[in-house]
Structure 1
């Protein structure tokens, strides 16, 4: 790994030094002023909400160095000390956004120095990790359905790694570790290229996660298996992607010129999200699924307002969420068109990272949505 270390130059080392400095300040502050820094900031805005969520509580209360879980909204409102409820706050949202930007800068610097750049093989090697992220999020959904005492549930505090937003860090660091190990194997001459072992690592993580979900289906009566959900979702997304690919190649070949099959995969990922949402919202009763609500703001607007502009007979026949499919498809095609050759030539590492992010934004939630519907949770 010495050759790998030598290729990491000063900008990345400066970024790493900043990371160590920020973490050190928080650790020293928490030790020196535990009530103000740890209880009043780190715990209240970051760990407390996850602790409450992971243990099925309405809120968690931190007072006198002790944490108490409450299940009543009245008790939470009357509690003294620092109170944390599941979900995000303004402080945590802004903080996570800043952390995301900081981490993206570090990743871009790392990719630049490792000279990964514009290589479609790298993009496709990361594809299993995107599926893994969505599947891993479903594991936490299973835990909520079964309850914290169920034998098949991942116990707290380990379950915190599966709860948003910590799950994003879990997937990120597992992916980064697999990337560095794969590059190390290539540097040592054990493999010709780092992409194949990277893809194998992601596929292995995905297989383990799916195997766990399959085991839960066998041992729990609360979890079902609706085979038509993945069939309709994946086949439908594939048909829509094939149609979009044919249309763009036939009438606007410039759309795919910069990304090629990478763009097709991006469109497919967003189609998975679109089809899974429509299937869950408008067709859940047909397949015996629970009642789901729209998770996207745009999807919610479409779902709640389409019925006001289309005939009632059409609403009764196909529902009101269907425009979301075409919105996702159109948006994905537009984004793929933006990624032309010039973007990859000017900043290949940044362009590749951004394209992977676009894929993850669609396929990650889409994977979770159709797996949840498949399991009936």
Structure 2
């Protein structure tokens, strides 16, 4: 594949990637306060620093970083203040980087002649769970840090499993596993590569979740509330089953492009929605004893608007996070409907890559929220 001006697309992608990194690095060196402190640190590294130390915020001033553990102190702090979680700037930036990386993967898959199929999509499913589980490892790390105990992973190494760096780690691990097994398949060393790829992801996520449960059983700092996982997984399965039945019976055109992959997407985003509702509104009722807050921009806005519009007595009875569940389900169904046969006929690789990204951005945070509440951290 060649661009209109004859430039190879892979070379163009690599050149753009290197140029972007060089531009940011050069700007950070030339204008450290404006580019590094005011942009890179404030929106990307600062939130990671605060998150890794379990701080309310991190403050950058005069080339040094201070972590604060009180909201009032953060409000009165002088310098660049960064809090754990996402902002509009970071969210948009991550979306742009995600699309750019997807284009790079698409070019690589075309170069290797990897066919994207529903079977490969399912094989990549465990990797989406792994990302969320690894974030919970960092949450346990913070729990130990706050209690003055030895952490599982020291800082700054732990930054590798905090957003946004965990996206690059998972991207490299998943792509590496895919290329490894596919090359073995192409050389005739394995008959098919999808089961081995799925096994790699399943082994990684099983080891991670198993390690978390072991810590729960051996440490008083980590609890265990399996009801959270049971409610989340059974609820998501019920919603996905109802979606599949209703769409197949009354609106089969919704699934004509995605097939059973569409039900998987609805399931994944419902996990995210239910996990948010359970952790934000029902943690006390389930006896978890931990107060959770929204870190995502859309979730936070939904809760804030619901609090404003919904009567106080109703908010007290059913909570304020429930509209987010409806938004997640509606958005997932809409995406499934949009991805019709024509999209897959035009570019099946790009269509599947987008669907992988769409499921991952829902299932990853959903897995994390579910496991956090299950472990009461």
TM-score by length of 1: 0.83
Query: Equivalent of 1:136, from 114, 134, 137?
Result: 134
Change (3 A) 1:324 1:49: closer
CA distance in 2, matches of 1:281, 1:92: 23
1:308 is aligned to: 311
Cα drift, residue 179 of structure 1: 1.5
1:4 is aligned to: none
CA distance in 1, matches of 2:232, 2:94: 31
Alignment of structure 1 residues 53-68 onto 2, 5 Å: 53-57=51-55, 58-61=57-60, 63=62, 67-68=64-65
Alignment of structure 1 residues 243-262 onto 2, 5 Å: 243-262=242-261
Change (3 A) 1:297 1:210: same
CA RMSD of aligned residues (A): 3.1
Q: Does 1:270 align with 2:269?
A: yes
The total of aligned residue pairs comes to 362
Cα drift, residue 281 of structure 1: 2.9
Cα drift, residue 41 of structure 1: 6.2
CA distance in 2, matches of 1:84, 1:61: 6
Cα drift, residue 323 of structure 1: 4.2
* 1:69 aligned counterpart, secondary structure: strand
2:361 is aligned to: 361
Alignment of structure 1 residues 4-153 onto 2, 5 Å: 10-24=8-22, 46-57=44-55, 58-61=57-60, 63=62, 67-71=64-68, 83=80, 85-87=82-84, 95-147=93-145, 149-153=148-152
Change (3 A) 1:375 1:186: same
CA distance in 1, matches of 2:273, 2:87: 28
Q: Does 1:218 align with 2:217?
A: yes
Cα drift, residue 306 of structure 1: 6.4
1:241 is aligned to: 240
TM-score by length of 2: 0.83
Segments of structure 2 that go 5 or more residues without pairing to the other structure are 1-6
CA contact (8 A) 1:147 1:153 kept: no
1:336 is aligned to: 336
CA contact (8 A) 1:186 1:194 kept: yes
CA distance in 2, matches of 1:288, 1:158: 33
Cα drift, residue 27 of structure 1: 5.5
Cα drift, residue 153 of structure 1: 3.0
Cα drift, residue 186 of structure 1: 1.4
Cα drift, residue 146 of structure 1: 2.1
CA distance in 2, matches of 1:359, 1:299: 20
Cα drift, residue 344 of structure 1: 0.3
Change (3 A) 1:292 1:43: closer
* 1:147 aligned counterpart, secondary structure: helix
